[in-house]
Structure 1
Amino acid sequence: MSPDEPRSGARAVDRAIQVLNCFEGDDPELSVSELAHLADLPVSTVHRLAQALVRGRLLDQNPANDRYRIGHGLASLARPALARLGLESAAPHLYTLAAGIRITVSVSVVEDRDAVTVFQARPPVYFCPNQVPPVRQPLRASAVGHALLAPSPISTIAEEHAERRNSQRVRTGGLHTDLDRVRRTGFASELVPTDDPIRAIAVPIAGPDKRVRVALAVQARSARLDADLVRSIVPAMRATAGRIGPLFQTHGGPTDSAFELESR
């Protein structure tokens, strides 16, 4: 075996991961040229990798148009992770909530400085694309991020870093005010400014150890998800969060506080 072979093999794996990461989102179908553009790789390389991934059942090729989509093999590989997180046990509760409030319910976890959507339960009726959140949202600038951050132990950090916090008060004050509001009301709210504004609502999910590393969220057109509907569905969201919280397995460290995020 030549010294170059391990490096070449590792590079092929890295590129295959780049191709798979192109499918992050709402179950898209992508052509070879689209994959090449998204992965920033040559078309010939992407075609070779995609065919290997099809043979491995990690991708599927639609015979009607030759476009690629996530394969059943990848879903099978993901099942242990979903079970370990607790989503398999929580799923019936999430679908019941979605059917009751007639809005898609999403579950997000912390990954670095982002909230990452890992599960969606769609309602049997009244679904529309506005209910699908971005796969990744910044912790400090989204409803689901604020729901994840609000319960974090910022009081201890404030005492330990008082001087540094004072020097950054102007920069972090708005975020801390938002998190205080989440702690008072029990939910986070965000208005996404688009041509047809979208409102997102999120509540924290406390695990068996009482730490919050998971959040439950919904979003819809703000014309529909108005103040009256928010008041109506938040109790149901919080009740579901309370029921499924004990199902989520303890993993990782505590969510970073707002001050820690701002200080990085």
Structure 2
Amino acid sequence: MNSPRSGSQAVERAIAVLACFEGGPSDLTVSALAARTGLAVSTAYRIVQALVRGGLLERDERTDCYRVGPSLISLAVPSLARIDTESFAPHLYSLAARLRLTASFGVVKDDVAVTVFSARPPERFCAHQVPGARQPLGSSAMGMAILAFGSASSRRGGSVTAPSDLDRIRRVGYAATLSEDREVRAVAVPVLDAHGQPRGALGVQALRRRLTDDLVRDIVPSMRGVAARIGVNTGTAFPAFR
């Protein structure tokens, strides 16, 4: 006899769907989520749509894949550090409006770069501008920006990134990466405390055809200026990456 359907069962299934995004691919189809959770595709679809309505997941209309949504990222902030996001959120929103790109702040947690806050621009926003909730430290723009400015021992932890690449990031002051399909470019600068230790990274990303080399050169100085202001406020909120 099958157990009756209950509210707790629905919650457990939703948790199972969300758990599929931890430490793995940042974008998944409904079919992939169904296969990972053992749910029927129709059941997985209903759960995914509910999570999208709640902002916990969001859909990429181009690929029909789903990724962690901004509401879930915001809910994760307290588990990373007890901070007042108002200390740096205004800087991110101001930068986002100026660049007309989503400005995100990320930190290192459990050897990955975790996005803890994203400020969307009032215009020209698209889903490509939102980074994954958890990205590889050694191959994401925010992760590499943090890694490059850490200690020599911490830099060895980013084995995906060649030492020469980290040297270049330190020299130019920012990291840049392309997505696997080479359509989305991400750019990030380190957020350094008063002692020059990386506390996080400030990043933007967009379709490569929009985030051109010329635009990157134009926006990096503004990003570094905002990162410097944020660094003053995050000095005790997040541990330095050493």
What TM-score do the two structures reach when normalised by structure 1? 0.63
Q: CA deviation at 1:15?
A: 8.2
Q: 1:205 aligns with which of 191, 197, 206?
A: 191
Q: Tell me: CA distance 1:209–1:88, structure 2 relative to 1, closer, same or farther (3 Å).
A: farther
Q: CA deviation at 1:243?
A: 0.9
The amino acid of 2:169's aligned partner reads V
Partner-residue secondary structure (3-state), 1:245: helix
Which of structures 1 and 2 has the bigger CA Rg?
Answer: 1
In the alignment, does 2:178 pair up with 1:178? no
Identify the residue that residue 88 of structure 1 maps to in structure 2: 86
Q: Tell me: CA distance 1:94–1:175, structure 2 relative to 1, closer, same or farther (3 Å).
A: same
Partner-residue secondary structure (3-state), 1:96: helix
Cα distance between partner residues in 2 of 1:136 and 1:90 = 20
Gaps of 5+ in 1: 1-12, 25-32, 51-60, 159-164, 166-170, 257-264
Which sits farther off after the overlay, 208-217 or 218-227?
208-217
Q: Deviations over 1:139-197 (max 9, x none)?
A: 1111111101011110x789xxxxxx8xxxxx9595211110111011001122427x1
Cα distance between partner residues in 2 of 1:123 and 1:198 = 18
Give the 5 Å matches for 1:242-261: 242-251=228-237, 253-255=239-241
- Report how many aligned residue pairs link the two structures: 209
In the alignment, does 2:227 pair up with 1:241? yes
Q: Deviations over 1:178-229 (max 9, x none)?
A: 110111011001122427x111100000135542121000011111111110
Is the CA contact (8 Å cut-off) linking 1:144 and 1:216 kept in structure 2?
Answer: yes
The amino acid of 2:135's aligned partner reads Q
Q: Tell me: CA distance 1:125–1:76, structure 2 relative to 1, closer, same or farther (3 Å).
A: closer
Q: Tell me: CA distance 1:193–1:227, structure 2 relative to 1, closer, same or farther (3 Å).
A: same
Is the CA contact (8 Å cut-off) linking 1:115 and 1:137 kept in structure 2?
Answer: yes
Is the CA contact (8 Å cut-off) linking 1:114 and 1:137 kept in structure 2?
Answer: yes
Q: CA deviation at 1:100?
A: 0.3
Give the 5 Å matches for 1:122-141: 122-141=120-139
Q: Deviations over 1:9-45 (max 9, x none)?
A: xxxx998864664688xxxxxxxx99x84873778xx
Q: Tell me: CA distance 1:80–1:189, structure 2 relative to 1, closer, same or farther (3 Å).
A: closer
Identify the residue that residue 37 of structure 2 maps to in structure 1: 40
Give the 5 Å matches for 1:133-172: 133-154=131-152
Cα distance between partner residues in 1 of 2:118 and 2:160 = 33
Q: Deviations over 1:82-108 (max 9, x none)?
A: 883342211111000000011111111
Q: CA deviation at 1:129?
A: 1.4
The amino acid of 2:102's aligned partner reads T
Cα distance between partner residues in 1 of 2:143 and 2:72 = 27
Q: Tell me: CA distance 1:84–1:38, structure 2 relative to 1, closer, same or farther (3 Å).
A: farther
Task: Supply the RMSD in Å over aligned alpha carbons.
Answer: 4.1
Cα distance between partner residues in 2 of 1:39 and 1:224 = 35
Higher helix share: 1
What TM-score do the two structures reach when normalised by structure 2? 0.68
Q: CA deviation at 1:70?
A: 5.9
Which sits farther off after the overlay, 210-219 or 94-103?
210-219
Identify the residue that residue 219 of structure 1 maps to in structure 2: 205
Identify the residue that residue 97 of structure 2 maps to in structure 1: 99
The amino acid of 2:100's aligned partner reads R
The amino acid of 1:226's aligned partner reads T
Q: CA deviation at 1:121?
A: 0.5
Identify the residue that residue 192 of structure 1 maps to in structure 2: 179
Among the aligned pairs, what percent are the same residue? 47
Q: Deviations over 1:36-91 (max 9, x none)?
A: 84873778xx9xxx9xxxxxxxxxx69xxxx87369x9899767568833422111
Identify the residue that residue 65 of structure 2 maps to in structure 1: none
Q: Deviations over 1:124-150 (max 9, x none)?
A: 111111111122111111111110101
Identify the residue that residue 216 of structure 2 maps to in structure 1: 230
The amino acid of 1:145's aligned partner reads G
